[in-house]
Chain A
Amino acid sequence: MINIILAVLSTLGALAILFASIGILRMPDFYLRLSVTVKASSLGVGLLLICAAIMFPGDASVTTKAIAIIFFLIITAPIAAHMIGRTAYFIGTPLWKGTVVDELDGMYNKETHELQSDPRQAVDKSTSPLDDQIADTEDETK
């Protein structure tokens, strides 16, 4: 019985990591790559660690370590993704050409790095209509 659970969980974990790595290759722009990778890999690693905890049922130290690793992974992974994504947007990495809406456009004050929350205070976009970050061609995001 335990063997079946172990097999199912570890297969799912390995598949999640596999899909994340295929996602890096296939996604069209940087933000989609980031958002596919971080979550799927944390789910995959989490499932594999749960497997390790189930594998040694009598040993409380293994379970404790597995729980601690999952806890710190859950805390740190989103922060890393947030910092990378923010920096990427700030230095002007283009969004995919199929992007529907970009409400962050013009909200940054490029000198002070301050971010407005009110759309009415945004920088006037009419002066430079072509200056948005949504890519016009497929090649720009490569």
Chain B
Amino acid sequence: MIKNFLMNLLLSFLWVALTGSLSYSGFAFGFILGFFVLWIMNKNEEEQRYFYRVPKIFSFVFYFLYQMIKANIEVAYDVITPKYFFRPGVVRYPLSARSDFEINALSTLISLTPGTLILDVSEDKKALYIHAMYLKSPEQFVKQLKEGMEKRLLEIIR
């Protein structure tokens, strides 16, 4: 896993050095090129995971950006129109994430999407308390978050 990533990084630096221009687009192109070279060269079955994980990370970034922009438009619409559409509430969210890093990453991402705000993590790290702006029902909110954000995040981290 980490060995593959370092090799990929090394290949992209090689590409930058050989083309002779240090720019982000050149680096990104070298990274993509190195990724495919490593994928073709790879014979070890156990090392395959890296090649599924990198596309997943990129799709997660786009998924998150989409969610963030969607929620921002929703909140902005509510702010500029005279009527209030929101139904706020504090929801208890049972965590599947266990380690500190997983909980930290998940709560940062939830906090960054507008309309949801982490109020606290319980002492035994089993539940998050989230202040949500648009709440149809607490069960539905928890289910949506669990199957969307948390599942995708844990697929990448674990």
Contacts and interface: CB of A to CB of B under 8 A. Distances in A.
Given A60-B22, A85-B131, A104 B123 contact: no
B79 A60 contact: no
A89 B120 contact: yes
A28 interface: yes
B80 A104 contact: no
Nearest to A113: B123
Contacts of A60: 22-24
A82 B68 CA distance: 18
State the main secondary structure of chain A at its contact with B: helix
A19 B84 CA distance: 15
B114 A95 contact: no
Given A31-B117, A104-B119, A98 B87 contact: yes
Nearest to B122: A117
A82 B133 contact: no
Nearest to B138: A101
A63 B119 CA distance: 34
Nearest to B108: A78
